[in-house]
Structure 1
Amino acid sequence: MAATDDVGWWIVGWDEWTDLDLIRARLAAGADPNSGVRIFDKPLHIAADWGSPEVVAELAMRVDDVDAELRGRTALWTAVFEGRVDNARALVAAGADPWRPMMGGWSPGRLSLAGPTPDLFPIPSSEFSLSEAEAAAATEAARLIPALGDFYYGGLSLACVADVSAAEATARLEATLADDVDIDALYEAWYNVSDADRIVGITDVPGGCVITQPWGNTPSTPGVIKRVSPDTVCYGMYANPKGGSGGRVSRDGAILGWEPDTAFTIPPDALAEQILAAYLYRNHPIAFCCAGADLRLADARPITGPPGAWLRLPERDYWT
C-alpha cells in the first residue's frame, strides 16, 4: 500500500505506538503487520522501541516472523538496546529468540548481559558469557556514567584526548594562557567578546586531558582534534542547544565519522566493540567520549569547570 493510504501506518505518530486501540484499528483497516512504517518499515521494530508491551504482544501475534530482521537486528534486539525491558519480555513470551546470533556477535541476550539487567534472560551456557574485555567495558560504563552525573550541557563542546597531557595538547595547538580574559563576562555574554570562539579550557585527567568550551563548538572542530591526535585518539563532541549532539573522532590526525547511535542507526557491519560502546553509553554522549579516549574521570568537574587552565587558540580556520 502507498504510504498515504488509509489502510497503512502513516497516521500513527511516534507517541501513539502505546495506543493499543489505535494499533488494532489500523490492523483491522488492513495495515500490514510486517512492513510499511515510514522510514523504518517494520511495525514490530518500532513498537519494540516506542510502544507498550500490549502493542508489542498484539503485533507479535500478527507478524509472519517475530524474529524478522531489519538491517541486521530483530525487534527483540531493538528492545534490549533501547532499555525497553517490558517490551523485551513480551517479545520473548511471543517466541522471540534472545540468543539468535546477529550483528558483531551481539545477540539480544549477550547485549543484555552488559547492561543494567544481566538477568533478563536465562543463559543457555557459558559460551554466551561476556569476554573479560567486554565485562571490563561494562563495569567501567556502570562506574563512569553515575560518576559524571546529570547536568545540563547544551551549548558545550569538548575534546577528550587519550595519553596526552594538558601541557602537550597546549603545545600541539600552539595555544597560550588566557590569563587576561574575564571568564565571568564570557559566561554571561560570550557573543560580545571578539575572540570568544578561541578561548577554551583544558584539564589534565587520568588517561589524558579534556578540552572544553561552554559556549561554542571549537574543541570539537576538525582543526582542533586533528592537531591533538597524532599517535593517539581524540573524541570530540558538540551539544547543539537547538537540539542533538554530534561529534567526530580523530585518530593519528585523521578524521573518522561519529554520531550518537540508536538501535536503528548502528551499521549492520559495525565492529563488536562499537556496538557495545553504543549500547553502554546510549543517551550519554559525554561519557561515550570519555570512554572512547579511555579517560577515567572521577567526577564531572573537568567537563563543567573550572578547568585547569584557560587557553587562547591562535587565529586560524578550525574547520579544515
Structure 2
Amino acid sequence: MGWDWTDADDIRRRLDDGADPESWSGGRPLHRAAAFGSPEAVAELARRVGDVDALENGVTALWEAVMSRKPENARALAAAGADPWRPLLGGWSPGRLSLAGPTPELFAAPQGVSLTLTERAAAQEADRLTAALGDFYYDGTGLACVAGIDAAEAVSRLQAAPVDGELIDGLLEDPYAYDMDESLQIIGVTSVPGGCVVTQPWGYAPQMPGVLARLSAGTICYGLYANPKSGNQGSIARHGTLEGWDLHPGGEPHENDTSGQVLAAYLYQDNAVAYACAFAGLRLDDRRAVAGPADVWVELPRRGYWNH
C-alpha cells in the first residue's frame, strides 16, 4: 500500500484480489485508513472486516479517526456501526473526546454525556495557547517551562550571569557559527503568566537534568528538547527530582495514561511546545519566550549538568 490510503478504488481492487482486510504490516488496515485515508476508503474496508470496533493498541479505528481530526472518516465508521461511546484510553470514548475538539457536534451525545467544567476549560485554553504560539519552526530548541517562579528567580537558582548583547545578536543570527561548548552555556529566560520559560533556540541545555533539578525546587517544570534527529524529547522535574525522562510531548496517548494525560495528548497533538507550556500551567500570549528575544540572556556556570 505504501503511504497513500486515500484511493478507495485501489483498496477495493486489492481486497478483491485477496488482500486481507484484517492485517497490514503488523497492524489493522482499517485503523490506518481511519487516520490517513479517505471516507470512501474507510467505508470500503469497514464493510469487509469482521468487527468494525476491533482493537489495536487498545483503541478502535473510530478512535484513530477522532484523534487524527478526520471527522468524515469518523462519520463513515459510525455509519458502518462503530460505537462512539465505548470507553477506551483513560476512560475516554471517541465520542466524548470529540467534544473537546474542533467538531463537538460530530456525534449526537447520549443523555448525561458531556465534558466536565475542568475539561472544557482545558480545551478552551488549548485553543487559546496554540493560537497564541502559532506555527513556527522550533527543531533544535531546548526549553524548560517552570511553574510559579519568574525570570529573576530562575536566574538566581541557576546562579547564571548576564551575557553581552552583541554576543546574543550573533548567536540568534547564526548560532552554529559558534563553538558548541560555548553556545550551550547560554540560555534565555522570560517571565510569562504562570511562571517562566527558559529557552535555547540552538540546543538542549534547558532540559539537562541538573538545570531542571535547580529550577524545579518547590515547584514543577517540564523540559523539552526538539531533537532534529529523533523527535521531541520531554522530561518532568518536581521539587528538585526528575520524575520522567524520554517522554514524547505532542505524541499520541498510551494505554496506561490517565484521563488527564489522554486529554492533553488530544488537545496538543503534534504541538510539543504548547504541551510543555500547558503541563506547567504557563499561559503564554505569544511565542517570544520560546523563540526569543528573551527577557534576559545569561550564561550558566560550568557544572556537570547531566548528574544533578
What interval of TM-score do these two structures reach, taking the shorter chain for normalisation?
A: over 0.9
- Other structure's SS at 1:76 match: helix
Instruction: Select 1:288's aligned residue among 275, 279, 284.
Output: 275
Aligned counterpart, 2:8: 20
Instruction: Select 1:169's aligned residue among 154, 157, 164.
Output: 154
1:34 aligns with 2:44: no
CA contact (8 A) 1:226 1:255 kept: no
Measure how far apart 1:317 and its partner are: 2.6
Alignment of 1:1-320 (within 5 A): 12-14=1-3, 16-35=4-23, 37-39=24-26, 41-126=27-112, 128-179=113-164, 182-191=167-176, 192-193=178-179, 194-242=181-229, 244-252=231-239, 253-257=241-245, 258-260=247-249, 262-263=251-252, 266-320=253-307
- Other structure's SS at 1:215 match: coil
CA distance in 2 between counterparts of 1:302 and 1:99 reads 40
CA contact (8 A) 1:222 1:255 kept: no
CA distance in 2 between counterparts of 1:82 and 1:222 reads 33
Q: For 1:154-198, what per-residue CA distance to the aligned partner results, in whole angstroms no more than 9, with x for missing partners?
A: 222211001122222212222111236611221234342451101
Gaps of 5+ in 1: 1-11
Gaps of 5+ in 2: none
Q: TM-score, normalised by structure 1?
A: 0.90
Measure how far apart 1:216 and its partner are: 1.0
CA distance in 2 between counterparts of 1:254 and 1:186 reads 30
**CA distance 1:262–1:22, shift in 2 (3 Å):** farther
Measure how far apart 1:26 and its partner are: 2.4
CA distance in 1 between counterparts of 2:259 and 2:166 reads 45
CA distance in 2 between counterparts of 1:87 and 1:318 reads 47
Aligned length: 303
Identity of matched residues, %: 55
CA contact (8 A) 2:250 2:268 kept: no
CA distance in 1 between counterparts of 2:122 and 2:134 reads 18
Q: For 1:25-80, what per-residue CA distance to the aligned partner results, in whole angstroms no more than 9, with x for missing partners?
A: 32223222122x224x1111111101111110001001111111112211101110
CA distance in 2 between counterparts of 1:163 and 1:13 reads 48
Say which is worse superposed, 305-314 or 166-175, in terms of deviation: 166-175
Measure how far apart 1:199 and its partner are: 0.2
- Other structure's SS at 2:243 match: strand
CA distance in 2 between counterparts of 1:261 and 1:43 reads 24
**RMSD of equivalent CA atoms:** 1.6
CA contact (8 A) 1:162 1:293 kept: yes
CA distance in 2 between counterparts of 1:262 and 1:186 reads 30
